[in-house]
Each structure stands twice: as C-alpha cells, then as structure tokens.
C-alpha cells in the first residue's frame, strides 16, 4: 500500500524515536543499517522528514537525528505518510487505474475502498509513542 520510500520513512522514524527515548541521537549510518536502506536514499528520506518537522537534525560531531520525547505521542503515522507519499495512498486505485473513481469504478473499487478507509483511520490514530513502546518492552521488533 505504501511506497518503498514511505515504508523506509516509517521504519526510520520508529528507530529514531526508540533511540530518542533512550536519550540517543541516531546517525545516518545507524539508521540506514537498521532499516536496510542505502545511505543516499535514507538521507533524502530523512531530509523530507526533517523539513516536515517530524524529526530534528543536529549537525556536528555529536549530531544526528532525534525526536523530542514530548512530541512522540503527538506525531501520528499519517504525518509520515503525508510527508513522503502525500494522500494518494487513500485515494489511488488499487489496480493503478488513473480513471478509477466513484462514478467510473474499476472491478476492485468497492472492495478496496473500505481497506483504504481503515488504513487511513489506523495511521491517523497511531502515534510514534504507540509504536515505540513495543520496541522498548521487547514485544515488537524492527529488524528486517
């Protein structure tokens, strides 16, 4: 459903958030290794997330990426999706047809519409804090 870039962005943000909760900044190299993404691609993704205000970037010897603890409960996964993919994931046709819409639906339209709506509900109601709590407790994992 999400683009590969968006999947990497979500993974990167979760990793940065979990490290931030431990008081650590994350380097590009660490993030890239953790999410299994090439560094150059990860750098562009992180730049978009930083410009969107989802993560903060600090330059220098002790720099890196982080998310203030007080923001983690406020940042919803939907913000990451919007920063990387826009809102097309909730609107585009599941078969990739450009002319599929309510007036001219594709054969899969009515079956896929509730899935898109549920996805939108989930990402709009899931915070980074929700996702990192499982990593910290060891109930979930992020390794690919």
Residue 37 pLDDT exceeds 80: yes
Q: What is the spatial distance between Cα 126 and Cα 75, in angstroms, rounded to a whole number?
A: 8
What pLDDT, on the 0 to 100 scale, is given for residue 30? 95
- How far are the Cα atoms of 56, 78, 93, 99 from residue 69, in angstroms, in the given order? 12, 18, 37, 43
Q: What is the mean pLDDT of residues 102-128?
A: 89
Q: What is the spatial distance between Cα 101 and Cα 95, in angstroms, rounded to a whole number?
A: 12
Residue 34 neighbours by CB distance under 10 Å:
20
Residue 123 pLDDT exceeds 60: yes
Residue 143 pLDDT exceeds 80: no
Q: In CATH, what number does 4-137 get?
A: 1.10.10.10
Report pLDDT digits (tens) over 76-110: 999 999 999 998 888 777 777 777 778 888 888 88
Segments making up each domain of the chain, as ranges: 4-137
């Amino acid at each position: 459903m999400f683009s590969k870039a968006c999947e990497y962005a979500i993974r990167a943000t979760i990793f940065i958030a979990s490290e931030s909760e431990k008081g650590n900044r994350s380097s590009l190299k660490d993030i890239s290794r953790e999410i299994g993404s090439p560094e150059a691609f990860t750098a562009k993704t992180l730049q978009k997330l930083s410009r969107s205000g989802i993560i903060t970037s600090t330059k220098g010897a002790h720099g890196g990426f982080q998310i203030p603890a007080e923001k983690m409960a406020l940042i919803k996964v939907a913000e990451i999706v919007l920063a990387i993919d826009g809102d097309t994931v909730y609107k585009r046709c599941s078969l990739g047809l450009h002319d599929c819409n309510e007036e001219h639906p594709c054969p899969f339209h009515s079956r896929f519409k509730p899935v898109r709506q549920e996805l939108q509900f989930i990402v709009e109601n899931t915070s980074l804090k929700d996702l990192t709590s499982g990593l910290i407790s060891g109930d979930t994992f992020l390794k690919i």
